[in-house]
Amino acid sequence: MGKRRKSRELALKVLFFMEFIDIDPEDAIEIIFNNFEIPEELREFSEDLVMGVSANKEKIDSYISNASINWRLERMNNVDKNLLRMGVYELLFREDIPPKVTINEAVEIGKKYGTEESGSFINGVLDSIYNRLKKNELLKKLDFSHE
């Protein structure tokens, strides 16, 4: 498993932790990193995801709400919701990560940590958001899907 996948899984754990305790992202990161002896090479990308999701949560959640027909954020399980948030953050703010990689990573982590339906649910929501961003020319990423 690659460093980015492990970093995403770590970020998911921090965001999941934050769902249950009202805590600043910096403090949540510190608690998780210190209590679980996280290798240095995983910290930077994980921290970027947690801080980026936290700083842009309202905007990210609005994209998810608009794309997840019949599923309010409050009804989503915490794994799916936070994987969607990380995926939308990457789609909107991480131009260095191809959209297909972002979506695939979220789907695979969802299959590992979520429910039986998590992979297809996450794929559907992120794909919808990706297509809307692409259609409205709001996506400024490198897209390697045509190579």
Q: What is the DSSP letter of 39?
A: -
Q: What is the pLDDT of residues 49-103, one digit of tens each?
A: 999 999 999 999 999 999 987 788 888 999 999 999 999 999 999 999 999 999 9
- Write 98-105 long-range contacts (CB < 8 A, 24+): 98/141, 98/142, 98/143, 98/144, 98/145, 99/130, 99/134, 99/139, 99/141, 99/143, 99/145, 100/143, 100/144, 100/145, 102/126, 103/127, 103/130, 105/4, 105/5, 105/8
Q: What is the pLDDT of residue 138?
A: 65
Determine the CATH number of domain 3-135: 1.10.940.10
SS3 75: helix
8 A C-beta contact, residue 106 and residue 83:
yes
Q: For residue 34, which phi and psi values (nearest 5 degrees)?
A: -75, -35
Q: Is 63 helix (H, G, I), strand (E, B) or coil?
A: helix
Q: How confident is the model at residue 145 (pLDDT cuts 50, 70, 90)?
A: very low
Contact indicator for 131, 116 with CB cutoff of 8 Å: no
- The better pLDDT of the pair 64, 139 is held by 64
What is the torsion angle, in degrees rounded to the nearest 10, for the CA atoms of residue 10, residue 133, residue 63 and residue 141? 20
